[in-house]
Structure 1
Amino acid sequence: MPATTTLTLPSGRVISRATADAAADWLTVLMSGDVGAEEQQQWTAWRQAHADHEAAWQHIEAVTGRMKALGPRPAYTALTAYGAGQPASAARRRATRLLLWGGLATGAGVLASRSASWQAQVADYRSATGEQRRLALDDGTQLLLNTGSALNLRFGATERRLVLLSGEIMVTTAHALGTAADPRPLVVETAQGSIRSLGTRFTVRQHAERTEVAVLESAVEIRCCDGAGSTRLLQAGEQTRFSRSTIDAPRAADAQAQAWTRGQLLADEQRLDDFLAELGRYRTGLLRVDPQVAGLRLSGVFPLGDTDRILSTLPSVLPVQVRTRSRYWVTVLPAEAGL
């Protein structure tokens, strides 16, 4: 991030980076969940000490869209639910950077809360890169979050809504598990539309411009965001993709759509570049492929628990070599390429 000395808030007000840093520090304190009366008085005094201080804090409130209604402990919970398995301080610092610096250091003036990346960072539930996380909800629904997924829960009196912000999930309803079903409809919302469960087990993957759905049991009803009357019933064993306005014709669900739920990556005469793009979802860093070997095809079932091992097996099945500059920079090259 450039070492700018000032920032321009969306309101047009220019504040110093020192003020921005101080506001971030106060947010970290409030997110700690262990704030006494003295700290709250000091926080109030800091806000009242200078108009820039208050402007910086108002920006944080505008970004979160709900800070005014939250006390310190709920604010901490809302902003760190995504930080499971990480040092809390690192998670909080990332959140505050996104809150305070998102779109400002570059002069874009775009509230970070409007970006998909920000929403994913503060989601109710997240899975890290390479992690698969199981959740059991109060209504009996069971969720499996695939790598790099983010999800919000919006359960109300008349509807249960799961908002998938990024990644991929498998939903197994209480009805599918043979237990008492909740009478409220269960809906998964994505950027392109919604999937209503009809007592079922299904997977949903959020792509950049489309959503992919595969039904493993029973059925779901798909509805696009923008297409008037664009709905489709998807039955068990079927799979489809949809955009904001159109839904593709159903096709038979392929085994690849389900393999991840068993901790596997399945390739069936798959291009190497496509295979590595999928494998890259499960590991951090750069994973590149030389264009000379990108079109090679491979088949196999690979356990996702060790992506390094998957890479190490490639030279035994394809005329390639794997060059590892570091754990985070790997390139797949032709076997005869010079070292």
Structure 2
Amino acid sequence: MTDRERQRQALKAAARWHVQLAAGDAPAELQQAWQVWLASAAEHRWAWARVEQLQGRLASVPGTLAFDTLQRSEAQGLPRRSVLKGLLLASGLGLGGWASYRSQPAQQWLADEYSATGEIRHLNLADGSQLVLDTASAVDIRFDDQQRLIRLRQGRIFLTSGKDSRQRPLRVETAQGLVEALGTRFSVDQREAASRVEVFEHAVRINPHQAPARRLEAGQRCQFDSHAVQAAQAVASSEAAWTGGHLIVEDWRLGELLDELGRYRPGLLSYSSELEGLRVSGTFSLTDSDAALSALATSFKLKVHRYNRYWVSVGLS
């Protein structure tokens, strides 16, 4: 299934959930099932946000036109894209509103390359560089005569730069600026309001959109936003173990570890607050988080409640 097909299916499912939940007093079982669906995939959360946004925009459509039209369109097999466009036009938003709707975070699912939740994907690029996509990550790859550019739309990547015969610069673009490889192995993590860079070999040059460039050496990490690069800190070589599907931790809070494991699971991994302060060290599998949870349950005498495939809760026995 392509990313576009997943996007369309997520939007269709979100619309159905919205109709059921808005039809009256939804029973607790329906609310619970919707929450599990919502937590099970990033595209589900994106689709739900889009449906809610559209619902707000359609509030100005007279009477029950929007609600009735969306229901009838599905029943009659009409293309949902055309119906949504027509309703946006009817609500006075015009083609600009439709363009804005199309330009929302849906575009991250239209990236050149992406990884699913729980997937760690290895790619060999045309110039000989090696690219690793962490869980739920997405990139565009733009190689031309001037540069080799990887646009990080979402998530985290690890890049081992290849030797380019044309000596084009190799750069990673984030929302906050550019990271240029200086013959190196490094990772870039696109976060909500900043980017984080970790260098494991040689160096990189960080170029924020509105601040002077700064060089980051091997064994260092830092965060930067559009206006500043924060002070460098030390990074251990074990921080790159995720590329092989492993997480190596030393004296982490157990809650922090569970949060990290949760990024690699489709669905919701919750835990009781009493676990937050416990400390843990060890090596855990990211590609088999169930095995990691079982090991933690044995070590800390925890109870792992598996309500279904997408909802797991951890607490003390």
* Aligned pairs for 1:61-80 within 5 A: 63=99
Q: Deviations over 1:104-139 (max 9, x none)?
A: xxxxxx5241x3x31211111110011111112222
SS of the counterpart of 2:241? Answer: helix
Q: What's the counterpart of residue 307 of structure 1?
A: 289
Q: What's the counterpart of residue 45 of structure 2?
A: none
SS of the counterpart of 1:200? Answer: strand
SS of the counterpart of 1:129? Answer: coil
Selected match of 2:193 from 209, 213, 222: 209
Structure 1 contact 154–161 (Cα < 8 Å) conserved? yes
Q: Structure 1 residues 289, 182: closer, same or farther in 2, change over 3 A?
A: farther
Query: Is 1:111 aligned to 2:101, yes or no?
Result: yes
Q: What's the counterpart of residue 138 of structure 1?
A: 126
Mapped to 2, the partners of 1:60 and 1:122 lie a distance apart of 21
Selected match of 1:218 from 196, 199, 202: 202
Q: Report deviation, 1:254.
A: 2.6
Selected match of 1:297 from 263, 276, 279: 279
Mapped to 1, the partners of 2:202 and 2:106 lie a distance apart of 34
Mapped to 2, the partners of 1:318 and 1:255 lie a distance apart of 27
Q: What's the counterpart of residue 194 of structure 1?
A: 178
Q: Report deviation, 1:282.
A: 0.7
Q: Deviations over 1:56-106 (max 9, x none)?
A: 9x969964xxxxxxxxxxxxxxxxxxxxxxxxxxxxxxxxxxxxxxxxxxx
Mapped to 2, the partners of 1:170 and 1:329 lie a distance apart of 30
Q: Report deviation, 1:327.
A: 2.1
RMSD: 3.2
Mapped to 2, the partners of 1:125 and 1:61 lie a distance apart of 28
Q: Report deviation, 1:257.
A: 2.5
Structure 1 contact 19–53 (Cα < 8 Å) conserved? no
Structure 2 contact 219–237 (Cα < 8 Å) conserved? no
SS of the counterpart of 1:314? Answer: helix
Q: What's the counterpart of residue 243 of structure 1?
A: 225
Q: What's the counterpart of residue 261 of structure 2?
A: 279
Mapped to 2, the partners of 1:308 and 1:154 lie a distance apart of 37
Structure 2 contact 112–139 (Cα < 8 Å) conserved? yes
120-129 or 314-323: bigger deviation? 314-323
Structure 1 contact 19–52 (Cα < 8 Å) conserved? no
More helix by share: 2
SS of the counterpart of 1:292? Answer: helix
Mapped to 1, the partners of 2:287 and 2:307 lie a distance apart of 21
Mapped to 2, the partners of 1:182 and 1:279 lie a distance apart of 41
Q: Structure 1 residues 189, 124: closer, same or farther in 2, change over 3 A?
A: same
Q: Report deviation, 1:306.
A: 1.1
Q: Where in structure 1 are there 5+ consecutive unaligned residues?
A: 28-50, 64-109
Structure 1 contact 23–53 (Cα < 8 Å) conserved? no
TM-score of the superposition, structure 2-length normalised? 0.71
Moved beyond 2 Å, runs of 4+: 1-4, 6-9, 12-27, 51-56, 58-63, 154-157, 254-257
Q: Deviations over 1:310-331 (max 9, x none)?
A: 1111122224222221221111
Q: Structure 1 residues 159, 24: closer, same or farther in 2, change over 3 A?
A: farther
Mapped to 2, the partners of 1:226 and 1:23 lie a distance apart of 44
Structure 2 contact 88–97 (Cα < 8 Å) conserved? no
Mapped to 2, the partners of 1:186 and 1:136 lie a distance apart of 14
Structure 1 contact 219–233 (Cα < 8 Å) conserved? yes
Q: Structure 1 residues 223, 295: closer, same or farther in 2, change over 3 A?
A: same
Query: Is 1:120 aligned to 2:108, yes or no?
Result: yes
Q: What's the counterpart of residue 45 of structure 1?
A: none
Q: What's the counterpart of residue 96 of structure 1?
A: none
Structure 1 contact 188–196 (Cα < 8 Å) conserved? yes
Q: Report deviation, 1:19.
A: 6.1
